[in-house]
Structure formats: C-alpha cells, structure tokens
Structure 1
Amino acid sequence: MIKRIFFFISLILPFAVLQAGIVILNGLTHNYKVENGQVYKGKIAIENTDNQPQNVKIFLQDFTYHADGSINFTAPHTNDKTNTDWIRLNTNFLTLKAKEKTEVYYEITIPNQVAKPGSYWSVIIVEPVEDVKPNENKDGVNITSIVRYAIQVITDYDSENIKPDLKFESVKIDKEEGRHIAKIAIANKGEIYCKPTAAIEMYNRKNGQKVGTFSSQAMGLLPKTSKSFHIDISKIPPDKYNAVIIATDEDENAFALNVELEVKND
C-alpha cells in the first residue's frame, strides 16, 4: 500500500535533525557509479544529541516524488528501478546512549548482469522509536514511531553515455510573503539521475529589453520523477514579459522553453 505524504525537508538539506535528538552526520544522498559484479561499501553516521538513550530502526524502501511536493514511500520492488536487492545493512536496529555517535554500514553488490544502463535507487529509512511502554487500555505493549528520514542510495550503472531528458511540466508565478516566486515544474523523463538548476531570463514584452536573469538552487532529480524549482523574481516590476526558461544539469546539458508571463500588481 502506497503511503503518500508531503516532501520531507530531510531530502533537500545537507544533513537532517530527527526528533529525539538523532542527527545524520554524513548527508542524505549517497551516489555511486557502479560496474557489473562489483561490491561497494558505505556508511550512515548517526549521533544522538539527547541526554537520554534512543532506539533507532533502519530499513529499506522504494520511493518516488513529484513536483506537487509529495513523496511516495513503497515496499521494496515497487519501483522497477529499485536497487533494494543489492543493498545489505549490517543492522536493522540499534540503541544509542546519550550523546553517542555510531555508524551503520552497508554493502552494495551489483549483479553480474544489469538489465539496462541508468540509475537504480532506494532509500535507507532511519526511524527513531520510543521505548516500549505498557498499554493501559489494552493487553500488550505499544511502540510509537517518531519522525523518520530517508537516505537516498543511488547507483548509476554504465551511465557515461546517457544524457538526461528534462521536460517542463508547468510554469506559474505565485506571491508568497510579499515576494513573487516563479515556480517551474521539471520532470526527468530519462534514465539517469541528474542535478539541474533552473534559470529564467525576463524580457519586457513591449520593447524587448532584457530586465534580468534569475536562478534557482540545484536539486537532484531521479528518473521518472519531478520537482518544482522556485525562483525569486521580486526585483521585477509588475508587467507582462517574454521569458526564456533554461534547465541546466551539472554536465551543462541544457533544455529551454519560451513562455509569456505576467507579474501582477497585487
């Protein structure tokens, strides 16, 4: 059963803080270029910053995300590009003492034959859990989960000659907290993970004069997923504009779109 929940901030920050004082110290995206039959090793560095011990469980899931800000966590093998069968964790449960740091290790064993070139991925879920407590209303015990976070493990197989295929799904301008924000939904229709940046060049529709170029932050984009790239264009006065929107990945592959936009005076 697919769980549809809103996009965790943990997937875009360089590190994440969990409830109950758990901190992931070495990033939330682990990316590997892999070859047939090879074994790759990685680790997740975890710290309990609290003054109390903390139980943590660790497990694998598949996932995808979309430009509306949602993410789908699903059981392994739901995604046809999953690499969950390739990954082995050295533990699925641990208890960290107060202020303790530890490392969870994993191995990625690439099959001797991979179906086709491209990116394969899954997430390692790190989920703090409360201590086992008696249930006053029912027989037995309850285990209550706290906020969980996902570490992406992306394996790029035979990807040197694969180019991304980015498509613009929508462009709109919203006003948020007094600022005009261009929101550009970009989908990755290709087979390879990439990390594009969106830029927008604005031209006055009446005289053709260029009034500015603005850019978003770079964000990772897995195959068959999409994200909304936000660009602050508050410096542009209200008017009607022609715009060129350009998405450029880390290898300078570029995709462009011409649109007409209106910055409203509201």
Structure 2
Amino acid sequence: MIKRISFFTFLILPFVFLHASIVVLNGLTHNYKVENGQVYKGKIAIENTANKPQNVKLFLQDFAYHADGTINYTTPHTNERTNTDWIKLNTNFITLKAKEKTEVYYEITIPNQAINPGSYWSVIIVEPVEDIKPTDSKQGVNITSIVRYAIQVITDYDSEKVKPDLKFESVKIDKEEGKQILKIAIANKGEIYCKPFASIEIYNKKSGQKVGTFSTQAMGLLPTTSKSFPIDISKMPPDKYNAVIIATDEDENAFALNVELEVKND
C-alpha cells in the first residue's frame, strides 16, 4: 500500500513558479478602499498550463506573517481584523481543461454598522486538487508537491483617519552566500496596511563622515505583522560604524533608528 504524503507550498508573491500547473494571472494582493454598506467586486484569473485537466478548490483563511519567516494560515475569525465574513466567492470548485483559462469572481459586502478605521484582511486559497488513485501494487511512500496560492484581499476603511506605526524589532548582520546582509525587522503596530521601504545611512565611527547609503525595495506590511527587510552591505569594509535606519511608507511617513554596526571579515 502506498502512503501518500503531500507537501503544500504557498506562494504569496506574484508570478513565482515551482513547476505548478495552476497559475494565478492577476496578482496576489487585491487592495480596496471601502465604505459602509457598499459592495465591491473582484476576480481571480487562473490558468491551467498542463496538458491534462485540473481540479481546483478555493476557500478563505486568515493570514499573518512575521519577520522570522513564519507564515500562519488559520481558520476564519482567528484574526480580530478578518474580513472573511464580508467575502463571497461565486464558486468553491472549478475544473480547468488542459491549457484553459478562467476567472473566479467574488463580492465584498461591507457592513452597514460602524467599524473601526483601518485595514481588514484575509486570503483566498487557490489549491489544485490531485486525484488520488490507491494501489497495492507497490510498497513505499509516494511524495507529491502541491503549490497553493494565497491571494490577499485587503479592505481599507476610513484609512485617512489612521496612520502606520512602524517599529524596529531587530537589526542584525548575517552572512549569506558570501555576502554581508543587513536584516532589519520592522513591525506594523498601527491599524492600516502600508508599503514601507527601509534605508540606511552609514557613517565612519571616528570621523563621522558618511561612507554609504543603501535601501530596500518596498514591501507590504499588514497591521500586527512584521517582515525582515534585507540590505546587501558587502561593499562596506570591515570596521565599526554609526548608522541611521529609516523606514518610510508610500505617504512619506518616516520612522528612524540610530544604531551601531560592526562589519566583520567573517
């Protein structure tokens, strides 16, 4: 009897492929500015790139992530700011023919009653369903890898009434593949989703002269979550430095931190 073990890989960045036959075509973050009592419509464009039919199921989950790399997918209502009750899919199951494309539609109905300003979110999971055919002809373990997509649906209510509150959780230097990588852990302690980037100005500890400026790409950051913002500082010679780290969101709200850095040979 073959024992079947399935490994699930979630993709939360657009257009990352791991030999998956199912591909989401229109991005993995859907963001809406919403008002009380209004209905908003969205869609998920899906393609089956394989040469055979593929079944796909769709369902809602709550979602959080942290700077240490952990990602949590949990049942609805785990998150106090879940919007799973507001979202209705037009179907939870589809079958795609070989090379077929389709669109799954959803509606977001915002409650009429007052809600607190800020972001509410969840994810729509798009998961291929593999046909399991038991057989007694072989002994052993059959391992399959299934790639699932997590599509963030973020609803921002009265966003102009709240501002991000970014906090620096940690700053450390790791060596990865021969490079010195500065990892800046930033948490969103506010109530609103934002897309900050981090930059660092590095100064000679003795002379005070600026010796380098580096920055990261902007990344989305939900309330109560955190991410690690990496910066390659391999060009900095080994020494001790003073530095100013700045996290800036898309509305130019800025948060600064003074640190001391020691870049080592090893």
TM-score in terms of structure 1 length: 0.91
Q: Which residue type is aligned with residue 100 of structure 1?
A: E
Matches within 5 A, 1:106-117: 106-117=106-117
Report the counterpart of residue 42 of structure 1 in structure 2.
42
Write out per-residue CA displacement over residues 125-159 of structure 1, whole angstroms, 9 at most, x where no aligned residue: 0001112424549xxxxxx8822120000000011
Q: Which residue type is aligned with residue 125 of structure 1?
A: I
Distance 1:20 1:249 in 2: 34
- Is the 1:192–1:223 contact (alpha carbons within 8 Å) kept by the matching residues of 2? yes
Distance 1:200 1:162 in 2: 26
Report the counterpart of residue 64 of structure 2 in structure 1.
64
Distance 1:167 1:176 in 2: 25
Q: How many pairs were matched up?
A: 254
Matches within 5 A, 1:19-168: 19-134=19-134, 136=136, 146-168=146-168
Q: Secondary structure at the match of 1:146?
A: strand
Report the counterpart of residue 248 of structure 1 in structure 2.
248
- Is the 2:9–2:145 contact (alpha carbons within 8 Å) kept by the matching residues of 1? no
Structure 2 unaligned residues grouped into runs of 5+? 1-6, 138-143
- Is the 1:128–1:145 contact (alpha carbons within 8 Å) kept by the matching residues of 2? no
- Is the 2:124–2:153 contact (alpha carbons within 8 Å) kept by the matching residues of 1? yes
Report the counterpart of residue 141 of structure 1 in structure 2.
none
Distance 2:222 2:23 in 1: 25
Distance 1:16 1:108 in 2: 27
Q: Secondary structure at the match of 1:85?
A: helix
Write out per-residue CA displacement over residues 177-233 of structure 1, whole angstroms, 9 at most, x where no aligned residue: 111110000000000000000001100101111011000111100000000000011
TM-aligned CA distance change 1:36 to 1:107, over 3 Å: same
Distance 2:168 2:90 in 1: 41
- Is the 1:17–1:24 contact (alpha carbons within 8 Å) kept by the matching residues of 2? no
TM-score in terms of structure 2 length: 0.91
Distance 1:26 1:18 in 2: 17
- Is the 1:68–1:227 contact (alpha carbons within 8 Å) kept by the matching residues of 2? yes
TM-aligned CA distance change 1:80 to 1:50, over 3 Å: same
Distance 1:20 1:196 in 2: 30
Distance 2:183 2:83 in 1: 32
- Is the 2:203–2:212 contact (alpha carbons within 8 Å) kept by the matching residues of 1? yes
Q: Secondary structure at the match of 1:98?
A: coil
Structure 1 unaligned residues grouped into runs of 5+? 138-143
TM-aligned CA distance change 1:55 to 1:18, over 3 Å: farther
Report the counterpart of residue 4 of structure 2 in structure 1.
none
Aligned residues: CA RMSD? 1.8
Q: Secondary structure at the match of 2:85?
A: helix
Moved more, 85-94 or 125-134: 125-134
Write out per-residue CA displacement over residues 50-85 of structure 1, whole angstroms, 9 at most, x where no aligned residue: 111111110000011100011111100110100000
Identity of aligned residues (%): 84
